[in-house]
Amino acid sequence: MRYFNVNFFYFVMATISVFSHCSYASTVCGSDSIVEHRINPFHYDSHISVAHNGTIHQCDELMFKILTDNTVEFVNYRDDSIVRIDSLIIPEYVIINDKCYKVVGIAEGALSRDFANLMGVPYYSDPDMSYFGPSYLFIPSSVTYISPGAFSGNMNLKTIVLSEGLDSIGEQAFWGSGISSLHIPSTVKMIKNGAFENCMSLQYIMVSPENKTYDSRGDCNAIIESKIDYMSLTCSNTVFIDNIKQIRVTNNVSRVKLSKKNRCEGITVATYTPKVINARRCCSLKCLTITFNHESEISKVLLPDNLEYLLTSRIDIDRIKGRIMKKGGLFKKDEHYTETRIYNPEANLLQIKIERSSARNEGL
């Protein structure tokens, strides 16, 4: 009588499972050495060709870098103004030289674009030169990380699907992209600084209710770091709810207004789009920072009486109003208030520390 080998059975089943996954891989890779083309669409003769040393493999039009014996990361696709991909679906598995690899990440700068060149510059009339990449992007559940700057400046990218299984999103990963909506899966544990900043078309944000690190409580249409009550990402339709301690205003926010119920202690406005910043009734606010790299559209800033720090960059100080101000935009210097100014020319940032006399404090 022959005995059934259980361990061998499980080994066979596991092997079948792996290759069944690979049977769904959308691409099969081959060459050990390829040339990657990157073209600046604003300069016909400007391009970079990079010959890789065997770790980069091209699968149809997609490129992957081998990381370990069974994992790869998505690097790029053929960007030579010939290939047109309107919808980019990254596969979970690829086959390279008859071996199955799992796609676990997105490489740094994979589909990034030069946002500085795109700002205010019309696309070329030549359709080949006006193509900036796919408008739809699907990232599968096998991907656990998105590297810094992966899709930064890619204004043609309108829709992204982030799947359960994603763990981290790198710094400025989608900075300046054209995405209009954002859903954060429950598995995401880290979103680095500026990951979704300067996305001026962003109108809808939702974090999965099962996420233990971030939330969008009260349908606020924003990303909040749950443990520290920090609203780290906003969009055009964000609601500034009361139970938030710190707020960073980003993207296309037209107006910032806090009520007397808000317990916010600090606000950083990192976008030039608000017309009005009204914090006059927010008694808990201690620090207001307004900073960006280009001229603001802010017409009025209303300060609360108990503000302690004001940091400004590229804003006319005459637009800042409040009882702690006097005509002409300067802080009062009397028995109630004094102020200390520090200017950092490198950051073009003016810091004003507002101090109150004991007589004023006794009257509060």
Q: What pLDDT score does 190 carry?
A: 97
Note whether 268 and 291 are within 8 A (CB). yes
* SS3 category, 221: coil
pLDDT of residue 168: 97
End-to-end distance of the chain based on CA atoms, in angstroms? 94
Is 153 exposed, middle or buried, given 0-12, 13-18 or 19+ CB atoms closer than 10 A? buried
- For the purposes of burial, counting CB atoms within 10 Å of the CB of 18, is it exposed (0-12), middle (13-18) or buried (19 or more)? middle
Q: How many C-beta atoms surround the C-beta of residue 263 within 10 A?
A: 14
C-alpha 353/C-alpha 272 separation (Å) is 23
pLDDT of residue 148: 95
The alpha helices in 104-192, defined as continuous H runs, are 115-118
Each residue's pLDDT expressed in tens, for the chain with a length of 364 residues: 444 454 544 444 434 444 555 654 445 565 444 444 444 444 434 333 344 445 777 777 788 999 999 999 999 876 544 456 788 899 999 998 888 999 999 999 888 876 444 444 433 434 444 456 788 999 999 999 999 999 988 888 899 999 999 999 999 999 988 999 999 999 999 999 999 998 999 999 999 999 999 999 999 999 999 999 999 999 999 999 999 999 999 999 999 999 999 999 999 998 888 999 999 999 999 999 988 766 677 888 999 988 888 888 777 777 888 777 765 556 666 556 666 767 666 656 677 787 766 544 444 4
Fill in the DSSP letter of residue 200.
Answer: T
pLDDT of residue 346: 61
Beta bridge partners of 350: 312, 343
* CA dist list (Å): 359 to 26, 291, 335, 355, 363: 74, 33, 7, 12, 7
Where are the chain's structural domains? 228-364
Element (H, E) at 80: none
Residue 286 CA: distances (Å) to CA of 256, 262, 265? 16, 12, 5
Half-sphere exposure of 236 (CA within 13 A, CB side): 12
Per-residue tokens: 157? 């990218």
What is the rounded distance in angstroms from the CA atom of residue 120 to the CA atom of residue 10? 59
Contact 162, 174 (CB under 8 A): no
pTM of the entire predicted model: 0.79
DSSP 24-59: T-S-EE--SS-EEEEE-TT-TT-EEEEE--SSEEEE
* CA dihedral of residues 62, 66, 70, 73 (deg, nearest 10): -50
| Closest CA relative to residue 89, chosen from 51, 47, 59 | 59
